[in-house]
A and B are shown apart, each in its own frame.
Chain A
C-alpha cells in the first residue's frame, strides 16, 4: 500500500465505523470522500465519510475568548483534541481475489486498522461494476444525510480524471436513485435537487 493512512479505526460494526485521526486542514478526508480499509485476509472494505466531529471542552471554550498564540492553537490541534472522530458508512467490499460486492461487509474491521483514501483506480474498480447497488444501503439509512452524501459521492466519481464512461455511469447512478426512491417522493426530490445543484 503506497498511500499514507489517514487514520485508524476506533469502533465498528458491519454497517460502518468511526475512525480517529489527527487534525489537519489538508489531510483530513472530506465529507463524502471514498475510503478503504485493507483487512488482514486480503479483502478490503469501502466506505464513505458521512460525519466529522471536532469536540470542544472547558479549556477550548475558555481559549476562544483569549488572544491565543500560534503555539497554543497547535497544542490544542495536535496534542489535546486528538483524535478527531470521523464516521464512515460502509458501501461494499472486495475479496482477496479482487471481486467487488456492493453488499453488507461480512465482518467489521478491527480496532486500530488503518484507513486509506481511495485513489482513482480504487474508485473506478468499485463503481465500475454495473449497477451501483450500494445506493440501497445509503438511501435507506435514516442516520446519515443521504441526499448530501450521495451528491458528494457523485461529484467525486464524476471528477475522476480518466473515467472511461463518465456520463454513462452518471445516468446509471441516477436511474438507480430514482428506482430506489420511487415510493419516497420527498426524499427523491431532496436527492435530485442536491444532485442538480452539484452538477451545474
Chain B
C-alpha cells in the first residue's frame, strides 16, 4: 500500500500553519529567555543553589550548572592553535540480525591522527572486532543494538586511551557525540560491566593528561534553558523545542565559545571526581554560516583553562579545514575510516559462510520474513 498522499497533503498544510504560530511563540519565549540570561549572567552562586534545591526535589533533573564564568561569556579563540597530537575516533557496527543467514555482529573503530602544522602525513588506523558466540548473548537474550553500541563506545574510548599514552603531550582526543553515554543509568549486568570499562578508559585518559572531548554537532539540548527556568517551572512549556543554541545564537560570534557549565543529570552522577561531565557551546562557523556545537569535557579538562583554550582553538582550526561546512576535519576522517557499508557486510557474511562450510557446518538461510522483505522492486522488460 503506498503512502496516502491525499491525507498527508492536508496534514502538511496544517503543519505549515502550526509552524507559523509556533515560530511566533518561540520568538517571544526566546526574547524572555535572553533577557533572563543577561539579567542573571553573574548570579552564579544563587543559580547553583537553586539547582541543588531542585535536585533534592527531582532526582532526574537534567540541566546546566554554572561554574565560574558569567552566563553570557563569549570568548574568542586564539589562532594558530598550539602544537598537539589529535586522535579522533569514530565507530560503526553491524548489529546481530536474527533474520539473517548467520548470526554475528561487528564493531569497527576508525582512528585518525593528525599533528597540525607539523607537515607530517596524518595516520589512519582501523580496529575491527567480530562478535560471535557468547558475546552475542546476555542474561536477557540476544545482545541488543544498545549493547553493541555500548561495546563500540567502550572500544573507542579504550583505543583512544592506549594511543594517548603512546605519544608526547599535549594530546587531544575527539569523539563524535557526547561523553555521557545515556541519560538514564542502565541496570543490566552486561551494561554495568561495559559501562565500568568505559569509565576505566576515561580514567586512563585522565592519567595520560589527554584533552578529551565529545563533539555534538547541532545540539538540540536545552540544558541552559532548563537552568534559567528553574525557579518558575511551567514558565516555558516543556515541549517548546527551544534549544540552547537558539539562546546562544545572538551571543556567540564565529570562533567564540560560551562559559563552561557542569552537566547535572542522574546519569552524570556516575562520572565521579575528575570524570565529572562539563560542556561549553562553540560557534565553529563563519558570519555567513554559523555552526554551533556542544563540546562535552570531563572535569580534568574543564578545570584547566589552558586545556580548554587549546581545545577551543584546535576545534576552530580543524573545523575551518573542512571548507564551507565547518566540522572538525579529524572527525570527518575518523567517520570515513570507521563506516561499515552494506557491501562490507555482504563481504563479511560471504567470508563467514565460506569458513563455516569449510568446517562442515551447513549454511543457514535468511528468515522467511527477510526473504519477503528483500524482494527486488519492479523491473521493466528490456527490448
Contact = CB atoms under 8 A, between A and B. Distances in A.
A38 to B, nearest CB: 30
A75 B324 contact: no
Given A59-B336, A79-B121, A79-B122, A72 B321 contact: yes
Given A63-B322, A65-B324, A70 B332 contact: no
A71 B123 CA distance: 10
B121 A75 contact: yes
Interface of chain B: mostly helix, strand, loop or mixed:
loop
Interface in A38-67: 59, 62-67
B29 interface: no
B323 A62 contact: yes
A65 B121 contact: no
Contacts of B333: 75, 80
A78 B333 CA distance: 13
B59 to A, nearest CB: 45
A193 to B, nearest CB: 43
Nearest to B332: A59
B116 A69 contact: yes
B382 interface: no
For A62, A65, A68, A75, the residue with the greatest tally of chain B CB atoms inside 10 Å of its CB is: A75
Contacts of A74: 120-122
Kindly state the interface size class of chain B when it binds its partner.
Answer: 20 to 34
B321 A79 contact: no
B194 interface: no
A24 to B, nearest CB: 12
For B117, B320, B323, B324, the residue with the greatest tally of chain A CB atoms inside 10 Å of its CB is: B323
Contacts of A65: 323-324
Interface string B327-346: 00100110010000000000
Contact of B121 (A62, A63, A67, A78): A78
B124 interface: yes
B298 to A, nearest CB: 27
B119 interface: yes
A71 B322 contact: no
A151 B228 CA distance: 76
A63 B122 contact: no
A137 B33 CA distance: 77
A66 B320 contact: yes
B121 to A, nearest CB: 4
B123 to A, nearest CB: 8
A62 B324 contact: yes
B335 to A, nearest CB: 11
A68 B321 CA distance: 6
A72 B321 CA distance: 8
Contacts of B118: 71
B249 interface: no
Contacts of A66: 320-324
B114 interface: yes
A49 B274 CA distance: 60
Interface in A62-103: 62-72, 74-75, 78-80
A56 B380 CA distance: 33
Interface string B294-327: 0000000000000000000000000011111100
A69 B332 CA distance: 15
Interface string A167-192: 00000000000000000000000000
B119 A63 contact: no
B115 interface: yes
Nearest to A72: B321
B314 to A, nearest CB: 13
Contacts of A68: 321
A59 B112 CA distance: 15
Contacts of A67: 320-321
Contact of B119 (A62, A71, A78, A79): A71
Nearest to B327: A62
Nearest to B325: A62
A80 B119 CA distance: 17
A72 B329 contact: yes
Contacts of B117: 69, 71
Interface in B155-192: none
A168 B114 CA distance: 56
B340 to A, nearest CB: 18
Contacts of A70: 119
Contacts of B119: 70-71
Cβ-closest 10 pairs across A and B: A66-B323, A75-B122, A74-B121, A62-B323, A65-B323, A78-B121, A70-B119, A79-B124, A72-B321, A71-B114
22 contacts: A59-B322, A59-B332, A59-B336, A62-B323, A62-B324, A62-B325, A63-B321, A63-B322, A66-B321, A67-B320, A67-B321, A69-B117, A69-B321, A70-B119, A71-B115, A71-B119, A71-B120, A71-B121, A74-B120, A75-B122, A79-B122, A80-B336
